[in-house]
Amino acid sequence: MNALMLARLQFAVTVGFHFIFPPVSIGLAWMLCIAEYLGWRKRDPIYVQVGRLFGKLLAITFAVGVATGIVMEFQFGTNWAVYSKFVGDIFGAPLAAEGVFAFFLESTFMGLYLFGRERVSKGVHWFSSLMVAVGATLSAFWIIVANSWQQTPAGFVVKNGRAELTSFYEAVFNPSTLPRYFHVVAAALVTGAFVMAGVAAWHVLRNPESPVGRKALKLGVAWGLAFALLEVMPFGHLHAQQVARTQPAKFAAIEGLYASADAKAPLVVFGVPFKSGGPPPQPALAAPIELPGLLSWLAFGDFTAPVKGLGEFPDDARPPIWLTFVSFHNMVLLGLFFIGLMAVASWKLYTGEIYRSPRLLKALVWSIPLPVLACQLGWVAAEVGRQPWIVYPGIQADGTPFEGLRTAVSHSPTVTAAEIGFSLALFGLVYLALGALWLFLMIRKAKLVPEPAQA
Amino acid sequence: MDLNTIWFVLVGVLIVGYAVLDGFDLGVGVLSLFARSRAERDLHAAAIGPVWDGNEVWLLTGGGALFAAFPPVYATVFSGFYLALMLLLLALIARAVSLEFRGLVASERWTRAWDWAFGLGSLLPAILLGVAVGNVLRGVPVGPGFAWQGSFLGLLNPYAILVGLVSATFFVMHGALFLRMKTEGELARRLGRIALGVYGAFLLLYVVATVATVRVSPFLFQKTSSPLFWALAAPLAVALAAVPIATRAGKRGLAFTASSATIALMILVAALSAYPVLVPSSLGLENSLTIYNASSTPRTLATMLVIALAGVPVVLGYTIWIYRIFKGPVRVGDGYSADAGAGAVRRVA
């Protein structure tokens, strides 16, 4: 493997591993904020126990998230020097803003939240949990800003061999920032709710009368249903529409639309992408199940709207077909499953049967990792779908077209394949160990309920 | 002052913030390797428990600010220091998780293992950060067009290692002075003695390193006639002298303040000496990265300045507030020692 492929692999490993943790942190932080609020206002010690239990899980996740996040911040410079020089005028500002506006807030108040329960008033302690949640959510904003600028660059002109900022506002609120931000935050909230519901379900399975389990289950299931619905409709839908408008090649790849449709583009519900014919080989779908017209309607609100197929783009401007299609479709499948599961659970919660429904409770327990998986799949669809560009083509501020920056020319020319291979192997081993430890500790701590006397 | 200079100062402020704050975390980590009992190691961890995370954000923000204000510096130096940075990152990962993990399983071996990770994960950055500074002061092998022509082993030159020892000894002393404020009794007295001993080694190394700098990077001494240089160097001398005096006199807060002033002024003196060069080139100073040839556009610098002016005072405000909440000595049973942070726990059967 050459240095480029290794650098890409290292990036995928680093970001993929890191991205396990932020959705759990953001989601859990908000769930905790809710539980702590109820504990404070209702003077209910059970909610304080819920806070202690999930606060521990948040602390473990946050530590691993911070540790792996530093690597992300440094990696652009170490592995993608050409890219960093090209985009530094724009890309660095959101990363710095994330530090100043978000990460300081989250980290500093995390210390107060975890260590300050006995040192400050209940109100201030709740405030610290709120600031952790706000900080984590703002943090996601600035990271999504940076990444969205790669997807749909705006507010810049290419001058002196680099992208130069013309409008900070336009660069920050580029066409994909808000659709992607809401989609990602809602995904994180689903993740947090599933962790809370799943852990609570485990406690209720052990002891149907467990007060902590019952209260946490209520919170997790009710908010889980709300978040799961919001995640798909409107946020997932709006994001997909934005991709259809701004990144037609990516849209065609994730949806599996290979031949252009002048009208009534079909929605592919199932299919196996492969390449056939050629040269160059063209993308094709095996065993497709299609719903005619639905893609046109979903993308543009009109059954007769034309949609560009992937075949219309030159071979060197197409993202990989298999990974984009498979990851996107499985993400959608999971998203629908989340709604279904939480809808059933909410109904049984309403009727009160849930505490005696071991199968449903077990399903909730085993579903804990699924939102994390969905996040990973969504991220793969977003990032692989962006290929072969590291910065997507677009329009410059002066109206002239920008032909995009290719991933293939953006890595650090001075870092050798051997160096990347060495550090990749080292980080791979460390990450495996870290992931295993994280799981071990999360499971261990999830099974412990804090003493009520300490509350 | 132009925008480029303002950003030179601001990046300097972020580095100072990191060195003062996370500096004592690193020092406490190294010192924990020499703690005499489990209880003492618990105190080491508890002393920095509530604050180390926020302290480390200074490094992240510094990295982000460098990326935003001087992208070629970030890109060239970070890719040039590739393996060294990867080692640093691994050490920081080990330190971050070991503090959180050490108390989660009630087993002496588990805690001991994570305490080793915590100590070594602190020692390595304490040295490597100095090595990085040493290499930058010495000049890095960048040719025309910022093309990197160095190697990993080239970073491990005697001068850089010397600066690495300066930083390591400083951080250990700084950590000892911080921990002395957070502990009581015999441990606090011993930390005072450690701080004084390490101070001697640090001062000696700093003097040797300064003499070596005259030989390695004579261009850094062009400003010794400017009043601004002496406006920083004179207080540095005072701070350096105040550390042992205050330590001996038992003035814990003053000793730590003097130590903080020492590192801040050391960094500022070095920065002023290099100004306007950010990264001198060892292949001819004309190839150096400066605040003018390696900066972002004025628009980005101005935007970032607004962000900094809006955000940093707020950050400082709540950071100081939270330090005050956690003021005073820590005791056995405070967070990060066993399961105390979560209260007593029981397994639900």
A423 and B326 within 8 Å at the Cβ level: the answer is no
Asked if the C-beta of A170 comes within 8 angstroms of chain B's C-beta atoms, the answer is no
Asked if the C-beta of A233 comes within 8 angstroms of chain B's C-beta atoms, the answer is no
Q: For residue range A402-418, what is the model confidence (pLDDT) as tens digits?
A: 999 999 989 888 888 88
B347 and A165 within 8 Å at the Cβ level: the answer is no
Query: Which residues in chain B touch residue A59, judged by CB atoms under 8 angstroms apart?
Result: 100, 341
Chain B contact probe: residue of A115, A118, A132, A212 with most B CBs at under 10 A:
A115
Q: In this predicted structure, what is the pLDDT of residue B145?
A: 78
Query: Which residues in chain B touch residue A449, judged by CB atoms under 8 angstroms apart?
Result: 345-346, 348
Residue B346, beta-bridge partner list:
A449
- Give the closest-approach CA distance of B130 to chain A in angstroms: 18
Count helices and strands in chain B by DSSP H and E runs? 11, 3
- Contact between A40 and A129 under an 8 Å Cβ cutoff? The reply is no
The tokens for B293 are: 């040839």
pLDDT band at A258 (very low <50, low <70, confident <90, very high): confident
Average pLDDT over residues A80-107: 89
User: For residue A414, how far is the Cα from the chain centroid?
Assistant: 32
Nearest beta carbon to residue A111 from set B65, B82, B322: B322
Average pLDDT over residues A293-303: 87
Q: How many residue contacts between A and B have a Cβ separation below 8 Å? A: 262
- Give the closest-approach CA distance of B313 to chain A in angstroms: 10
B75 and A77 within 8 Å at the Cβ level: the answer is yes
- Comparing A46-50, A291-295, A369-373, B179-183, which segment has the lowest mean pLDDT? A291-295
In one-letter notation, the amino acid at residue A420 is I
In chain A, which residue's Cα lies nearest the Cα of B121? A67
Q: How many residues does chain A have?
A: 455
Query: Which residues in chain B touch residue A434, judged by CB atoms under 8 angstroms apart?
Result: 93, 97
Q: For residue range A333-371, what is the model confidence (pLDDT) as tens digits?
A: 999 999 999 999 999 999 999 999 999 999 999 999 999
- Give the closest-approach CA distance of B282 to chain A in angstroms: 17
Q: In this predicted structure, what is the pLDDT of residue A407?
A: 93
The CA-based angle B295-A147-A190, given to 5 degrees, is 145
Count helices and strands in chain A by DSSP H and E runs? 16, 9
Nearest beta carbon to residue B63 from set A74, A88, A116: A74
Average pLDDT, chain A: 91
A89 and B296 within 8 Å at the Cβ level: the answer is yes
Angstrom distance (rounded) from CA B89 to CA B83: 10
Angstrom distance (rounded) from CA B109 to CA B115: 10
Inform me whether the pLDDT recorded for A75 exceeds 90: no
DSSP string, A289-340: EEETTHHHHHHHS-TT--B--GGGS-GGG---HHHHHHHHHHHHHHHHHHHH
Q: In this predicted structure, what is the pLDDT of residue B343?
A: 34
Angstrom distance (rounded) from CA B341 to CA A377: 35
- Give the closest-approach CA distance of A319 to chain B in angstroms: 27
Which residues have C-beta within 8 Å of that of residue A16, sequence separation ≥ 6? A376, A379, A380
Average pLDDT over residues A103-127: 89
Q: In this predicted structure, what is the pLDDT of residue A452?
A: 67
Q: In this predicted structure, what is the pLDDT of residue B103?
A: 85
Does residue A273 sit in helix, strand or coil? strand
Query: Which residues in chain B touch residue A451, judged by CB atoms under 8 angstroms apart?
Result: 343-346
pLDDT band at A429 (very low <50, low <70, confident <90, very high): very high
Angstrom distance (rounded) from CA A198 to CA A216: 9
The tokens for B276 are: 């306007």
Inform me whether the pLDDT recorded for A180 exceeds 90: yes
Query: Which residues in chain B touch residue A91, judged by CB atoms under 8 angstroms apart?
Result: 67-68
Expressed in angstroms, the distance from the first to the final Cα of chain B is 67
Asked if the C-beta of B325 comes within 8 angstroms of chain A's C-beta atoms, the answer is yes
**Cα separation values, B123 from A90, A124, A317, B23, B168, Å:** 35, 36, 48, 11, 7
**Residues A234-246: b if buried by 16+ CB within 10 A, e if exposed:** ebbeebbbbbbeb
Nearest beta carbon to residue A56 from set B51, B149, B342: B342
DSSP string, A103-167: IHHHHHHHHHHHH-TTTS-HHHHHHHHHHHHHHHHHHHHHHHHHHHHHHS--SEEEETTEEEES-
Query: Which residues in chain B touch residue A93, judged by CB atoms under 8 angstroms apart?
Result: 68, 300, 303-304, 307
User: For residue B97, how far is the Cα from the chain centroid?
Assistant: 19
In one-letter notation, the amino acid at residue A1 is M
H helices of A207-319, in order, are: 211-230, 237-246, 248-255, 294-300
Asked if the C-beta of B74 comes within 8 angstroms of chain A's C-beta atoms, the answer is yes
Give pLDDT < 70 ranges for chain B: 333-349
Q: In this predicted structure, what is the pLDDT of residue B76?
A: 87
In chain A, which residue's Cα lies nearest the Cα of B328? A119
Which A residues in the span 197-216 are in contact with B, Cβ-Cβ below 8 Å? Answer: 203, 206-207, 210
Angstrom distance (rounded) from CA B96 to CA A434: 11
Angstrom distance (rounded) from CA A445 to CA A219: 19
Angstrom distance (rounded) from CA B122 to CA B126: 6
Nearest beta carbon to residue A454 from set B104, B105, B344: B344
Q: In this predicted structure, what is the pLDDT of residue A85?
A: 87
**B98 phi-psi bin (left φ>0, alpha ψ -120 to 50, beta other):** alpha
Residue A391, beta-bridge partner list:
A405
User: For residue A99, how far is the Cα from the chain centroid?
Assistant: 19
Beta strands in chain B (DSSP E): 277-279, 289-290, 345-347
Asked if the C-beta of A103 comes within 8 angstroms of chain B's C-beta atoms, the answer is yes
Q: In this predicted structure, what is the pLDDT of residue B243?
A: 95
Asked if the C-beta of A418 comes within 8 angstroms of chain B's C-beta atoms, the answer is no
Q: In this predicted structure, what is the pLDDT of residue A179?
A: 94
Query: Which residues in chain A touch residue B122, judged by CB atoms under 8 angstroms apart?
Result: none
Q: In this predicted structure, what is the pLDDT of residue A145?
A: 95
Does residue A390 sit in helix, strand or coil? strand
Residue A267, beta-bridge partner list:
A291
In chain A, which residue's Cα lies nearest the Cα of B293? A160
Inform me whether the pLDDT recorded for A374 exceeds 90: yes
Query: Which residues in chain B touch residue A76, judged by CB atoms under 8 angstroms apart?
Result: 67, 74-75, 78
Residue B333: closest CA among B36, B37, B39, B48: B39
Asked if the C-beta of B320 comes within 8 angstroms of chain A's C-beta atoms, the answer is no
Asked if the C-beta of B308 comes within 8 angstroms of chain A's C-beta atoms, the answer is yes
Q: In this predicted structure, what is the pLDDT of residue B335?
A: 60
Q: In this predicted structure, what is the pLDDT of residue B334?
A: 66
